[in-house]
Amino acid sequence: MKILYGVNGEGMGHAMRSAEIIKNLSKDHEIKIIAGGKAADYLKKFNNLKKVNYLSFVTKNGKIYYFKTALFNLLQSPILICNFFSILIKSIFNRPNLIITDFEPLTSYTSLILRIPLISFDNQHIVTDTQIPVKNPFALSLYKTTVSLMTPFPKKKVITTFFYPKLLKKNSVLVPPVIREIIAKQKPRNGKHLLVYLGMKNDSLLSSLNNLKIHCIVYGKTSLKSSKYLKMKKFDEYAFAADLANSKAVICNAGLTTLTESLYLKKPILCIPLKGQVEQELNAYYLKKYNYGLSTDKINSQTIKKFLNALSKYKAELRKVNFSNIQILQALKKIISQVT
């Protein structure tokens, strides 16, 4: 079967998750990948990859600016349109049997126009298709609209999640998060360092950790240099996996991939969800609800101490966590057979 697989280029979570699925599906199917940004760079190890421009959020100091986001994406719309027609024309002459999208809009609209069955495989639909607590009705409505526009009318939605609210849509299914092979192979131990991985620059947090004399391995944006207690590292997939597995706890934003890989390795989490990012705020809410860690809008010395003093409580709950890719792949293969 010919499958066109679209991967969102914002961040690395979509790419790392999709890589595991593509690797498995490639055993039985011919896969053509559409991806942008760092996702395309990460997925270039696969054959049949087309790199495209992608829709992106404009952020500053951990907050999403929706007006600037809309303006930025509007300015690059001519390039996106060219990318779209290129994909559309190629799909007309070499028609795929199925399209799978991990929150990638160009492949979604190709499906809509050519009436090719579409499966949405992402975590964003947890916001649109389940009964969740509402913190900000306006932001929630805006986020739901964005998700619907990014992936219009999929036949099936496979939603990856570590929590399970009530489903509201009949064509949706909840599955555990995808765990990368490199993470699954790790043998976790309780080390002495915290792993800090933040998508946004947060030097004040790092200064607090340094002042508290807490050993940390730091990935992400910062203007600070390595010190006695802070070891700055450039992102490397293998080093990151080892540092995560050997940490005593994690400080990160509330993106699904880093959260769930930390949970899989039984690491308590202190997270800072991006302001205005409904899905991250939801992840943080359930992380705190399940006692897997602590969520806060801003981390200071007092918050760090509170988190570290409760590590044993979090670890007791984390012993109950059990993710497996087998369930995901079984569900996806069943859905593929249904929609095609």
∠154-16-334 over CA atoms, to 5°? 40
**pLDDT average, residue stretch 80-102:** 93
Are 292 and 333 in contact, with CB atoms under 8 Å apart?
Answer: no
* Band of pLDDT at residue 74, cut at 50, 70 and 90: low
pLDDT digit string, tens, across residues 17-42: 999 999 999 999 999 999 988 899 99
pLDDT, average across residues 165-186: 96
Instruction: Say how far apart CA 154 and CA 120 lie, in whole Å.
Output: 6
Q: What are phi and psi of 12, to 5 degrees?
A: -110, -10
Residue 112 CA to residue 114 CA, distance in Å, equals: 6
**118-168 residue pLDDT tens:** 999 999 999 999 999 988 888 889 889 989 989 999 999 999 999 999 999
Q: Which residue has the tokens 């495989």?
A: 121
Q: Quick check: 305 pLDDT over 70? A: yes
Which residues does 165 contact at the CB level (< 8 Å), separation at least 6? 126, 130, 131, 132
pLDDT of residue 67: 60
pLDDT of residue 24: 94
Does CATH place domain 2-178+324-339 in 3.40.470.10?
no
Tell me the domain boundaries of the chain: 2-178+324-339, 182-318
- 49 contacts 43 by C-beta, under 8 angstroms: yes
Q: Among 33-42, 52-61, 87-96, name the one with the lowest average pLDDT.
A: 52-61
Q: What confidence tens digit (pLDDT) does each residue in 106-117 have?
A: 999 999 999 999
Any idea which of 158-167, 190-199, 258-267 has the lowest mean pLDDT? 190-199
Mean per-residue pLDDT, 272-301: 92
Query: In the chain, which residue ranges form alpha helices assigned H by DSSP?
Result: 13-25, 37-43, 66-75, 77-93, 105-114, 125-129, 137-150, 181-184, 203-211, 237-245, 256-264, 278-289, 301-309, 311-318, 325-339
Q: Which CATH class is domain 182-318?
A: alpha beta
When mean pLDDT is compared across 9-13, 104-108, 252-256, the lowest value belongs to 9-13
Q: Residue 63: is its pLDDT beyond 60?
A: no
Prediction pTM value: 0.90
Select the more confidently predicted residue: 223 or 157: 157
Q: What's the mean pLDDT in 243-259? A: 95
pLDDT at 54: 63
What percentage of the chain carries pLDDT values higher than 90?
72
Do domains 2-178+324-339 and 182-318 share one topology? The answer is yes
Q: How far is Cα of residue 128 from the mean position of the Cα atoms in its chain?
A: 16
Q: How far is CA 267 from CA 69, 84, 118, 181, 187, in A?
A: 33, 41, 36, 18, 12
Mean pLDDT for the chain? 90
pLDDT at 277 over 80: yes
